Amino acid sequence: MKSIVKTSFKILSLVALLLISTGMQAQKTVNLKPDAQEYVVKGTSTLHDWHMTSNEAKGFVTVSMIDGVPNFTGSEITLLAETLKSGKKGMDKNAYKALKTDEYESIEFVLNHCTMESAVLGKATAELTIAGFSRDVTFDIQVEQSGNAFTVKGTTDFRLTDFQIDPPTALMGTIKTGDEVTIEFKATFQN
């Protein structure tokens, strides 16, 4: 009788394990693909709208799949601030001064939490560090999976003053940058 109970328990345990594992895959860490990323910072000024771009970050994302939906449990991305370029040297110089790049050379993103509404749409909350100041921000994200690659697009809005950054000025204060900025990114992770 004991052997029948033990055998039944082993079979039930195996069935439960199989049922759980069919919906979940093991977590894996996937690196940021160097030639498949773009980061854009957009804003306004009293003269014109502006944007700066970079495609030189490093980082990774940790992901597992649950019933076909990506479950992002960790991510760290580091972007050297001076890789952001506007195409105008004067504007870049003012931006780097505001970002205190001589003291804080990197902009860092560390994922706190991600909730996927579907296999392709979600919200990611991360600690964003700019000019040495950290604050949690929420990004609306879109995810596309192709084989073992994940392409994540995201956007968020915030104020520079939220990060204790004084909006840059030029020409003795006659041109002023707006406080509101938007960050957009598209990054592919693949090993």
SS3 call for 119: coil
Q: Domains in the chain, ordered, with CATH?
A: 25-189 (2.40.128.110)
This prediction has a pTM of 0.82
Tell me which DSSP letter residue 167 carries.
Answer: P
Per-residue pLDDT band at 14 (split at 50, 70, 90):
very low
pLDDT of residue 17: 40
Yes or no: say if 152 and 161 are a contact pair by the CB < 8 Å rule. Answer: no
Residue 13 pLDDT exceeds 50: no
User: Between these two residues, 3 and 191, which has the higher pLDDT value?
Assistant: 191
**80-136: pLDDT as tens digits:** 999 999 999 988 999 999 999 999 999 999 999 999 999 999 999 999 999 999 999
Say what the pLDDT of residue 45 is.
Answer: 82
Residue-wise pLDDT tens digits, 37-90? 999 999 998 777 999 999 999 999 999 999 889 999 999 999 999 999 999 998
Nearest to residue 41, comparing CAs of 27, 25, 57?
A: 57
